[in-house]
Structures are given as C-alpha cells and as structure tokens.
Structure 1
Amino acid sequence: MKKEGFNFVFWISTVVITVFLLFGALVPETLSHYAEKAFEWMTTYFSSFYLIVAVFFIGFCLFLAFSRYGAIKLGQDSDEPEYTYYNWIGMLFSAGFGVALVFWGVSEPVKHYISPPPGYEGETEEAIGAAIQYSMFHWGIHQWAIFAVIGLCIAYFQFRKQKQGLISTAVEPLMKNKFGNVKGWRSTIDILAVLATATGVATSLGLGVMQVNGGLHYTFGIGDHIGTQLVIIVVLMCTYLFSSITGLNKGIRILSLVNLTIAFFLMAFTFLVGPTLYIFNTFVSGLGGYVENFTKMSFNINPHQEQAWLNDWTVFYWAWAMAWSPFVGTFIARVSKGRTIREFVTGVMFVPPLVAIAWMAVFGGGALFFETVKGYEIVSAVQDDVTNGLFVTLNQFPFGMLLSIVAISLIFTFLITSADSATFVLGMMTSKDQLNPGLGTKIIWGIFMSAIAAILLLASGLTGLQTASLVTALPFSIIMILMCFSLFKELKEEAK
C-alpha cells in the first residue's frame, strides 16, 4: 500500500527518466538504433494518420473559436487576462519556439534547397520557392494547432471548471463512467506527459548549447568541444534556476519580453540592412505559396512516390509537436486565464506562426540570396555544421559581428526561458498541480534537465533521445483526440 502523501507521478517519472538516461549514456548507439527503428515503424504505418490528425486539430480549434462557444472564457466570467497581449505573445513565443526557430531559421530552408520535396529539382529557382514555402508550412499553424488543443483543454478545466490543470483531467469526463480505476489511468497519462516534457526539453537544451558553442567558435574562435559545452550548461543552469526563484510574473515574463524584443530587433535590422527587396518578395511569394498549397501540403501523401522526405520533415515535425505539446500546452494554458476561447485560438494559432513565417523569409531568404545571387558558400557551411548556418549568414550582412553577438544572446535567453518554463510546468505536473509549484520541486527538475543534457552531450546520445522521445507522439495523439471530444462534451453541457 502506498504511504500517505507518496507522489506517485514524481517518483515513477524520475526513476524511468534515470534508467532511460543511463541507457542513453552507456549505450547511445543502441538507444539510437532502436529509437530510429521505432520511429521508422511509426512513420511507415502512421504517417497518413499524423497528417490527418494535425488537420483535425486545426479544424477543431477553428470550429470552437467561431462557434457559439467562442465567447466562453477560460476562467470565470468576471476574470480578466493576467498579462498584456504583448506579454502573453512573448511567453507563447518563448515556450512554443524556444531555440528551435533560431536553430533552423537558416538551416532548414538551405537543406530544402539542396534536397527539396518530391517533384522539385535541387539547387534550382523552383527549389528556392519550395524551400521557403515548406519551411513556412512546417513552422506555421499546424504546430500551433497541436499546442492549442492541449492548452485550450487544460485552461478550460483548470480555470473554468476549477479542476486540476493536468493532461489527465481533460480526458476524465470521457473515462470516469467507463473505467473503474480512473486514478490508474490518470497517473499513466500524467507520467507520459512528464517523460515527454523532460526528455524533449533536455534534448532542446543540448541542441541549443551546441549552437551557442558553434556561434562562439565561429565569432570569437572559442573551442568547439565538450568542455566548452559543459561550461555553457553550468552557466545556463545557474541562470535559469535564479530566474525560477523569481517566479512566473518576474523571471519568465521579463525574459519572454526580452526574447520577443530582441527577436524583432534582429529580424527588422537584418531586413532593413540586407537585401530588403529580395527578402520582401520572398516573404510575399512564400506566404502566397503557403496559402495556395495549404491543402496539398497538409495531405502530401502519394503512394506512387518515395515518402522518405515527407517522413523526415513533415511527419517528424508533427510528431515532435505532439511529443512537445504537454509542455507547451500546459504552459500556455497557465498564462491564458481570463481570455475567451476565440481570443485564445486566434492568438495562439496565428500570431506566433506569422512571426515564424517572417523569420524564415528574412533569414532563410537572406541565406539563399547570398548563396544563389552573391555566390557565398552558405550551403557548404550548413552541410559542414548546421549550427553555423545562422552565423555564416549573419556575417554577410553589414555589422555581421554585432548581429552574431545579438543572435548568441538571443539563443541563450531562449534557452533560459525554455528551461525556466519547463521547470515550472514539470513542477505543476508533479506537485499535485500547484499553480505556483514549490521552489524545491522546480530546482530538482532544473538540475535534472541540465544533467540529462550534459550526460547526453558526453555520450553523443542527443539524436537517440530526440528520436526516442517522438515515440510518445503516437499515444499522445490518441489522448489529444480524446481531450477534444471531452472538451466538446463539457462545452455542450455548459451551453445547456
């Protein structure tokens, strides 16, 4: 029998993550091999399912936003939003994109230019258009619809129904009359959410640290090796633990504002001092292609064509968003109290994607301009090391050194905000859903995530862990569908 007060979700999660960590540290090749096999099986048999589910989430969110349910508040009728719109968008942007958008802003369009989707020939004018269009597509509303489903469900049950803000709470209305052992099901779902969050964030920290190290090496000649990366991790951990002590309304909120402001400054400055007309035309044509081919790209399954590109990019992104969604969704739910369903959906699904689309046009378009028009070797730099793509591109702009320093600072603050947000969410998930989890719990998770990232960097197991964490996407997609039906059931009951 469990002792009174035993935190089942916390302890089972930490034990499983520790075992998984040891496996990845001691035999990273084995972890990577089996993780790739599992993901290959998933993409072989479920790639169409992922595409359909992502579109279903878009349709579900839009239906709620523009139906009679759109005016319902995520909170009591008298509740007002806790944060200004700019603050709110800044926190969405920092939690949802983290360092990933900065990491792939140059490298993904360049990779699509070299190896475009089926039907295009690499390194041609047509490949440039396809590269920008698909990069915008991968960072557009599909990802944010996935995040929005989790956030919407948790925020409704937490603030409107005054229940625990956990993934399991959102499916309970469908389960409570069908399963006797509801608590067992709830614990299983919550443990899965904790595992996905901890491994996903730790992997992103590791990748971000590698890019910071790459930027320092390219800009200042600082050694690009594991010793430097471990120092960066220690500095990063101390910084985000200090931020976590200050709480949500100070640390995360202020850092999110800083992130959004620096990102806008970097993007606006490079747009104005770089090939402005080329970038603007890239934005317009890319956005036009995105809108025009939205349906085609959303259901890009052709049984007569090789599906490797689709699985490596589109299906991978949707699976990664679903595996990442417990963290992002729980966090955006926490900061969205007092907003209506319509306001939540339009803000979450359209504003961050628009920023991402502009980012891809500015940095991806700028990189392809320097490669194809000026003849600078951006492609070879990305092929040598994807972490250097951004810095090689920035070096071609006026004040390239200054821009690289700003970019390194932006990556670091993104890492701090992502880690700080993750410790907050993990604290909520494993401390009986306190809206403001205890400092001790946040510190434990903060140290734990840094340890995971450090061990995996030492063992070169980041790729294996990243792929392995995607295995959670398949069961989570089922849970998310159940959450949609559960939310709709409750909204219909409320409307009566």
Structure 2
Amino acid sequence: MLTWLQRRLGLQTIPGVFFTSAGVAALFVALAIPFDTAVAESFGQLTGWVAHHLGWFYILAVSALLIFLLGLAVSRYGNIRLGADDSRPDYSNLTWFTMLFAAGIGTILMFWGVAEPISHFAHPPFDGVTAESERAASDAMTLALYHFGLHTWTIFAMPGLAIGYFAYRHHLPMRISSLFYPILGERAFGPWGWAVDVVAVLGTLFGVATSLGLGTLQLNSGLSYLFGAPTNALVQISLIVVITSIAATSVALGLDKGVRRLSQINIVLAMALLGFVLLVGPTVFIAEGMVQSVGDYLSALPWLAFWTETYRETEWQRQWTLFYWAWTISWAPYVGIFIARISRGRTIREFVGGVLFAPTAFTLVWFGVFGLSAIEAEMSGQLSLAVQVQQDPSVAIFAFLEGLPLSGVAAALSVAIIVIFFTTSSDSASLVIDMLTRRDDQPSLVRQRIFWAAAQGGIAASLLLAGGLDALQNVITSLGLPFCILLLFMAIALLRALRADYRGFSVDELVRGRVYPDVEGTAEAKQAKQETGDVSEATARH
C-alpha cells in the first residue's frame, strides 16, 4: 500500500519511514490547532509524570554518556579512525572547529546567552543563596555552562561518533538505524530499523520546531523593540511562515548554494556582535569572570552532573535541566549526522576531544561576554533586566543591548542573526530528515525537502498556538525520552563493534556470520529490485 502511494506521488523514499513520520506529524498538527487547550494539558500532564518519575534517568543517562566518551578517548580504542587505518581528516582543525559551531549551537546561545544567567542570578535554585549576590552570580554562570557545555556536546557527540564510525569504517548507510547493526543484524534494515529511524525523524522535527518556536518569540520581541510591532499569535505565525519560506528556498538550492552560504554569513555576523559587546561592555570584568567561571564550572561539575533535586521537590530542574537535555537529545540525530559528515579520517580520541571541548570553550566565551555583561549591568543598577526576563525571556538580549552604544544597530544585527540561525537550522534539518527517510541510492527530491521544512513550520505554529513557551517545553521534554534510550543502545552497539575491531575481527561476526549489506543489498533495496525482476545478493564488506 505504502509503496503504491509512493509511486503515485512520485517520491523517492523508504515508505515505512517517510509515511509513518509524515503521518504522525500531520496528525499532531491536525489535533493541536482545533484542540490546542486539550493538547497543551495532555503534554503538561505527561511532562509532569516524566519529570517526576524519570527525571533522574535523563540526568544519569547524559552524565553516563559523558563518562563513556571520555573513557573511549583515553582507552585503547582511542586510536581507531573514522575510516580506513590510513585515512586522514578531510578538514584542518581550525576549519573543523568552525564548522562545529555551525552545527546548531548558535540558535540556542542567541536565546539563552543573556536570559539564563540573569534568571539564575535573580532566582537562585540553591538553598541559602541570596538573590543577586556574588554567590548567585557565580552559580548562574556555572549552571549556564553546565547546561550548554560538556553535557550538551556529549549528546551531540554520541550519535556523531557512532554514525561516523559505522559509515566510514564499515560502509553502512548514514542513518540512525545503521548504528544498531551489531545488535539487530539485518533487521536493522527492515521494520525494526525503520522504527528507529522514525523516532529519529520525529525527534528532529519536534526539536527543530521547538527552536523555531523559541526563535519566533524572540524575533517578535525584537521587532516590537525596533518598530513597535505587536506581540501576539498573528505576528508570530506570520514570522513562522516567513522563516519557513526562506528555509524552503534555501533547502531547494541545496547544501552548497543554500545552507553553506547562509551559515558562513551568519558566523561572521555572530562574531561581529560578540566582538562589539566585548569591546563596548565591561571588558576587564568579562575577562576576570571567564577565568573564574572555568574554575567554578570544573569544581562543581562532579556533583552537579548527578544532582537531581532529591530533597527539594521543586519545578526548577524540570523547567531547566530536563528541558535542555530533552531538547538537545531531540536535535541529536540531525547534529550527529552533520558532525559525522565533517569528521571522516579523525581518530576517536581526536573526535571526542574536539567535539566536547572546542564548542564548550566557545560557549564559555559567549556566556562570558553576554552573561557576565548582563550580570554586571544588573549589579551596577545600569539596567533592570531580571524583571523583564522573568516576564518574557525572549526579550532578554534586546533589553540588554538597550544599555549599550548603538543599541538600535546591535538589535537589528541580532534580528538578522536570529533569522539566519533559525533558517539554517530548518533547512539543514530538512536535508538530514530527507536523508533518514530515503535510501542512499535514491535521489534527493526538492519537493521532499520542502515538505519537511513546511512540516517543521506547521509543528512550530501548532505548539505556539497550544501554549507558547510552556507548550514547547512540555512537548519536547516528553518526546525526548525515546531517543534518550536509543542513545544508550548506541553506546552499547559502538562498544561491541570497537571490541571486535580492536581484536582484528569483523563486526559481522557479532551477528553470527551475517555480512554487511551494501546500499544495494538492504531489505528495502531488495524489495525494489524484486518489483523490477532484478534481485542480487548482498556483497560482503569487511
């Protein structure tokens, strides 16, 4: 039935993955718009249950994966390359680090660079800490780095490392289902594998839609600041339509002409804004604060990584840490594939060290410049940011820029950066989703990529109508759980494969003599060939 529907529509897909993912997304939009209150309440209850019963699982899983990756890097497996033993990296270290920044972190930093430190500074989550005190400022920076430092990049690095290893060293398709070949065997290329890819597609859809929703709220605040535009649902839906249209145009142009050029432009603009704030802001205070923040973060990390609010029972961790981990996990398939594509030829030690520590260092600089500047302005009485951020975190960066010279120019630059960041996130995610929903030997059709860009916009609009920021947080916290479980199974599959690799055995022996199917030998390819009378057996790959 699905194969017939694919032919009628002229698509190039894996029908089970494409139509299941598209159907779930369409069903959500169809229910969320007319029944927005009911949908918001349902996900609110589900999120409450997940946070209460499984919040500890999120905390433990991400911290365990960080320990696992660091252990791999220093272990005997650290010298194994993502590719043949004689392969070398495709990009220089500097180019590679720059491309890691473009993997999507900019969308998060623009929204929370001011909002999170100020929020924790004004409302400390720890008992006995006085609001807006020196201790509150230190804790605010530590928590911001905890949320956007090593743990965030652990979630991205785990699928990136596994995808790169299996794709470049064992020539498997660059899909999430391929990572489970050591566990599932050839079932990874049938319904079991398709189910894994559906989870990855839905996670990416809702994760990017959440980012698009947050970006829309922030853009609405920016336009209100610059031009007095009203802040309401109509303006926000209009912004989503505009951003989705730009993303669809970019994704239609393809990776080189669309995504790459927009990414390059945005990195230059973001660095210009960063440099501007550093120069006109409290430069010495920023430098001193960054040095101290490194020590505070490293000293607090061992206990903070396993802190679960056991004795407090507040909503703080649900609203902050659990939301961040679930949000990041939902991005993991998309960012993981992106990182894998630029990391061929690197050793596991180089990969883990670069992916974990280089973006974390940039995060320190970003929060040091924006977060510390905002805290200093609040402490000195120059600005009153805490009340504004408490009411609406999307206004944070614009309220902060208002206290700097050339505030109008800086705010306009911020609006442009936000638009491009969220556009590149949407079009890059559309390319990755298209890759996850079709075979490697099938062409990438423009209309399929545009469909996924439109789906992200539709979900984002539905979430905003269903309750704004609270709905975004509730939906993503609930839906991040399945892929969090998949991340742990990824680690198990990767470790099994590395053990066989190190001992000189092929990973095929882990699945009792089965061979790696090449792209033409997967279950879906065989089915397609049977329909044309051209059937061939899989070729062994070692």
Structure-1-length-normalised TM-score: 0.93
Aligned-partner Cα distance in 1 for 2:276–2:236: 29
Counterpart of 2:160? 151
Counterpart of 2:379? 372
SS in 2 for 1:123: coil
Evaluate the alpha carbon distance shift between residue 468 and residue 230 of structure 1 in structure 2; reply closer, same or farther with a 3 A threshold: closer
Aligned-partner Cα distance in 2 for 1:388–1:2: 46
Aligned-partner Cα distance in 2 for 1:300–1:395: 36
Moved more, 420-429 or 360-369: 360-369
Counterpart of 1:420? 427
Gaps of 5+ in 2: 7-13, 504-542
Instruction: Select which of 107, 110, 114 maps to 1:102.
Output: 110
- Is 1:53 the counterpart of 2:53 in the alignment? no
SS in 1 for 2:33: helix
SS in 2 for 1:164: coil
Aligned-partner Cα distance in 1 for 2:228–2:488: 49
Give the deviation of 1:165 after TM superposition. 1.4
Aligned-partner Cα distance in 1 for 2:454–2:245: 9
Instruction: Select which of 476, 480, 485 maps to 2:483.
Output: 476
Counterpart of 1:88? 96
SS in 2 for 1:337: coil
Counterpart of 2:31? 23
Give the deviation of 1:145 after TM superposition. 0.6
Contact persistence 2:2–2:15 (CA under 8 A): no
Aligned-partner Cα distance in 2 for 1:456–1:38: 15
Counterpart of 1:290? 297
Instruction: Select which of 182, 205, 209 maps to 1:173.
Output: 182
| Greater radius of gyration (CA) | 2
Residues 7-32 of structure 1: CA deviation (Å, up to 9, x unaligned): 11000111111111122212222222
Residues 57-76 of structure 1: CA deviation (Å, up to 9, x unaligned): 11111122222322222223
- Is 1:330 the counterpart of 2:330 in the alignment? no
Give the deviation of 1:325 after TM superposition. 1.3
Contact persistence 2:323–2:473 (CA under 8 A): no
Matches within 5 A, 1:218-229: 218-229=225-236
Instruction: Select which of 14, 37, 42 maps to 1:34.
Output: 42
Give the deviation of 1:79 after TM superposition. 4.2
- Is 1:70 the counterpart of 2:48 in the alignment? no
Give the deviation of 1:245 after TM superposition. 3.0
Counterpart of 1:185? 192
- Is 1:194 the counterpart of 2:195 in the alignment? no
Contact persistence 1:29–1:461 (CA under 8 A): no
Aligned-partner Cα distance in 2 for 1:196–1:407: 28
Contact persistence 1:118–1:309 (CA under 8 A): no
Evaluate the alpha carbon distance shift between residue 151 and residue 255 of structure 1 in structure 2; reply closer, same or farther with a 3 A threshold: same
Task: Tell me which amino acid in the other structure corresponds to 1:386.
Answer: P
Matches within 5 A, 1:386-425: 386-425=393-432
Matches within 5 A, 1:125-140: 125-140=134-149
Give the deviation of 1:314 after TM superposition. 1.9
Question: How many residues are paired up?
Answer: 494
Give the deviation of 1:181 after TM superposition. 8.7
Matches within 5 A, 1:223-372: 223-301=230-308, 303-372=310-379
Give the deviation of 1:315 after TM superposition. 2.6
Task: Tell me which amino acid in the other structure corresponds to 1:106.
Answer: V
Give the deviation of 1:311 after TM superposition. 2.9
Contact persistence 1:87–1:253 (CA under 8 A): no
Evaluate the alpha carbon distance shift between residue 230 and residue 302 of structure 1 in structure 2; reply closer, same or farther with a 3 A threshold: closer
Instruction: Select which of 139, 149, 162 maps to 2:171.
Output: 162
Evaluate the alpha carbon distance shift between residue 317 and residue 26 of structure 1 in structure 2; reply closer, same or farther with a 3 A threshold: same
Structure-2-length-normalised TM-score: 0.85
- Is 1:454 the counterpart of 2:466 in the alignment? no
- Is 1:43 the counterpart of 2:56 in the alignment? no
Matches within 5 A, 1:477-492: 477-492=484-499
Matches within 5 A, 1:111-122: 111-119=119-127, 120-122=129-131
Residues 239-287 of structure 1: CA deviation (Å, up to 9, x unaligned): 2223223322343233223232222221122112111122222212222
SS in 2 for 1:447: helix
Cα RMSD (Å) of the superposition? Answer: 2.3
Residues 97-118 of structure 1: CA deviation (Å, up to 9, x unaligned): 2422110111111111122122
Moved more, 395-404 or 240-249: 240-249
Contact persistence 1:91–1:253 (CA under 8 A): no
Evaluate the alpha carbon distance shift between residue 461 and residue 185 of structure 1 in structure 2; reply closer, same or farther with a 3 A threshold: farther
Task: Tell me which amino acid in the other structure corresponds to 1:418.
Answer: S
Contact persistence 1:26–1:459 (CA under 8 A): no
Task: Tell me which amino acid in the other structure corresponds to 1:229.
Answer: Q
Give the deviation of 1:349 after TM superposition. 0.7
What's the % identity of the aligned pairs? 37
Evaluate the alpha carbon distance shift between residue 341 and residue 251 of structure 1 in structure 2; reply closer, same or farther with a 3 A threshold: farther
Aligned-partner Cα distance in 2 for 1:124–1:189: 47
Moved more, 160-169 or 458-467: 458-467
Residues 170-229 of structure 1: CA deviation (Å, up to 9, x unaligned): 11211239xx79722212111111111111111211211221121121023233333433
Counterpart of 2:151? 142
SS in 2 for 1:95: coil
Contact persistence 2:37–2:466 (CA under 8 A): no
Task: Tell me which amino acid in the other structure corresponds to 1:312.
Answer: Q
Gaps of 5+ in 1: none
SS in 2 for 1:245: helix
Moved more, 410-419 or 228-237: 228-237
Aligned-partner Cα distance in 1 for 2:155–2:296: 22
Moved more, 154-163 or 46-55: 46-55
Give the deviation of 1:140 after TM superposition. 0.5
Task: Tell me which amino acid in the other structure corresponds to 1:73.
Answer: R
Task: Tell me which amino acid in the other structure corresponds to 1:295.
Answer: P
Contact persistence 1:90–1:256 (CA under 8 A): no
Counterpart of 1:212? 219
Aligned-partner Cα distance in 2 for 1:344–1:317: 23
